[in-house]
Amino acid sequence: MGIVNTTPDSFSDGGRCLAAGAAIDHALKLVEAGADILDVGGESTRPGAQPVPVDEEIGRVLPVVEALVRRGLVVSVDTRKPEVMQAALSAGAAMINDVSALRAPTALETLAASQAAVCLMHMRGEPGSMQVAPAYDNVMEEVTGFLQERIALCEAAGIDRARLVVDPGFGFGKRLEHNLMLLARLSQIVGLGVPVLVGMSRKSMLGSLTGRTVLAREFAGVAAHLAAVLRGARIVRVHDVSAMRDALAVWNALEEV
């Protein structure tokens, strides 16, 4: 899954793809580099980010979604807002990627009325304040339990389990020790029986481990995502698609021996 942020303030690539034309060109480059899914987002959820009004978010993502769907590409839309979800679904998005796991009022109903896939992510708190002293008694139990609850709620609302993907939400209300635990024991989340998506690309956990600045975390990202694939992750959400593709080519070749 390649990342297309149509935002002025995303933590690593804010402002690069704010114009629809630039976002579309970037998305096409990611496809050339080997992305199977394009994740288009119009609101940054980095720590400290401010919410974006609905109309502005729709105005940012919709022209990009429409252009990519027209080209026959598989598009995911990264949003927490039911109105944006609806607009994206009407434009042909194949997946809604929600960092708040459909917790907004009417989000469950909006998805139940569609056939799209849904990514349910764990986030402790809200982006504005989530990195202020995040604490858990048992991060594995709490994240796995939350995802299990959200899966059950989706199924009860009429969203078939076969449409669901789950994500532990690296960096969303978590300290380094929490992120490392979630990665080391990812197989526990894989055990929920729903495909697992992970996104660690350029995140501060990689900066803490390597001392590298945001744009110099590519190798660390490849290692982290490959470690997740080894533990059963099925989708990796990354900025640096060609590096990840090369790593997966090697890994997949070994799997086939």
Q: Is 10 in the site for ligand HH2 (CB under 6 A)?
A: yes
CB contact at 8 A, 91 and 136:
no
- In this structure, the dihedral spanned by the alpha carbons of residues 198, 81, 129 and 209, taken in order and rounded to 10 degrees, is 20
Shortest Å, Cβ 128 to ligand HH2: 12
Q: What is the largest CA-CA distance in the chain?
A: 51
d(CA 196, CA 183): 12
**Residue nearer to ligand HH2 on the CB measure, 35 or 99:** 99
d(CA 128, CA 65): 27
Shortest Å, Cβ 188 to ligand HH2: 18
Q: Which of 11, 79, 173, 178 binds ligand HH2 (CB under 6 A)?
A: 11
Q: Is 144 in the site for ligand HH2 (CB under 6 A)?
A: no
Stretch of residues binding ligand HH2 (CB under 6 A), selected from 22-30, 105-113, 138-146, 164-172: 164-172
Is 203 catalytic? The answer is: yes
Chain-centroid distance of CA 49 in Å reads: 16
Q: How many CA atoms lie within 13 A of 234 on its CB side?
A: 12
Shortest Å, Cβ 166 to ligand HH2: 9
For binding to ligand HH2 (CB under 6 A), which residues are involved?
3, 5, 7, 10-12, 41, 44-46, 78, 97, 99, 119, 121, 167, 169-170, 197, 199, 237
Which active-site residues does the annotation give? 203, 237
